[in-house]
């Protein structure tokens, strides 16, 4: 049986979600193309996962280069069976200090890159049907966040294009879905807690009735949607949020 080839963006070892996804998919027997801006961070991921994988550094904000870059990778390594777009630009954008360049920072990576990757993936010479695309969104796409309007808007847009692309690519046997985590336990969460006083820390924890989301749970949701077990699921956004949206 030929090993299926999956591209994972945001695969750097210092990304809690990206690393967990790579560990899960590699453990499931897929061969991965590890994508991120920094080669050394991708090498660190490679060192933590089983199997032989491909390191492919890329700045995904170079939108016009994505198709040619994917063409080159597929020519050398073979067609893709799946794509996980985990790369994301995050931060705060309070209205009082918002700059126009921030719009590009959020939307180029979180939305435009997702579209260009999907368009490139969908070319017959780049994928083997049936195939699956999974975007990593956020509960911010469902529920606005104070001071993070650009991040929330970009994730809402990602949910929308998930639906549209799922419809457009169904006849090519390509499924498109999205996983929307809440606050994921890990280094970045700890940085966020460090900026809060004890009362604020507790309030943030209380927003997650089942607790902060382990990155492994996000990875398991991705693995399910990538797999043939989800063969009739497309166009959906799956919250993995510890109860955040119902709290």
Active site residues: 151
Gap between the Cα atoms of 214 and 217, Å rounded: 6
Residues linked to residue 34 through DSSP beta bridges, in sequence order? 8, 55
Do the Cβ atoms of 181 and 17 come closer than 8 Å?
Answer: yes
CA angle 122-126-131, nearest 5°? 60
| 186 φ/ψ angles, rounded to the nearest 5 degrees | 155, -165
| 137 φ/ψ angles, rounded to the nearest 5 degrees | -100, -140
At residue 46, the 3 state secondary structure works out as helix
Gap between the Cα atoms of 39 and 45, Å rounded: 10
CA angle 36-16-201, nearest 5°? 135
Neighbours of 71 (CB within 10 A): 14
At residue 89, the 3 state secondary structure works out as coil
What is the distance of C-alpha 237 from the center of its chain? 12
Of 5, 54, 24, give the one whose Cα is nearest residue 136: 24
């Amino acid at each position: 049986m030929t090993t299926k080839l999956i591209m994972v963006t945001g695969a750097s070892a210092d990304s809690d979600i990206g690393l967990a996804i790579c560990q899960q998919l590699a453990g499931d027997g897929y061969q991965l193309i590890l994508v991120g801006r920094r080669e050394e961070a991708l090498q660190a991921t490679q060192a933590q996962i089983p199997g032989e994988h491909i390191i492919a550094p890329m700045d995904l904000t170079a939108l016009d280069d994505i198709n040619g870059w994917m063409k080159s990778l597929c020519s050398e390594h073979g067609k893709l069976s799946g794509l996980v777009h985990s790369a994301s630009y995050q931060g705060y954008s309070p209205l009082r200090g918002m700059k126009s360049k921030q719009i590009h920072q959020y939307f180029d990576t979180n939305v435009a890159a997702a579209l260009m990757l999907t368009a490139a993936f969908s070319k017959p010479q780049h994928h083997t049907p049936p195939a699956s695309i999974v975007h990593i969104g956020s509960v911010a796409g469902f529920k606005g966040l104070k001071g993070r309007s650009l991040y929330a808007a970009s994730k809402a847009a990602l949910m929308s294009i998930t639906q549209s692309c799922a419809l457009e690519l169904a006849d090519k046997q390509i499924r498109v879905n999205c996983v929307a985590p809440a606050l994921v336990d890990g280094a970045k969460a700890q940085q966020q807690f460090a900026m809060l006083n004890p009362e604020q820390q507790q309030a943030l924890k209380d927003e997650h009735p089942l607790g902060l989301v382990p990155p492994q749970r996000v990875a398991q949701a991705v693995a399910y949607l990538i797999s043939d077990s989800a063969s009739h699921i497309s166009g959906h956004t799956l919250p993995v949020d510890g109860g955040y949206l119902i709290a």
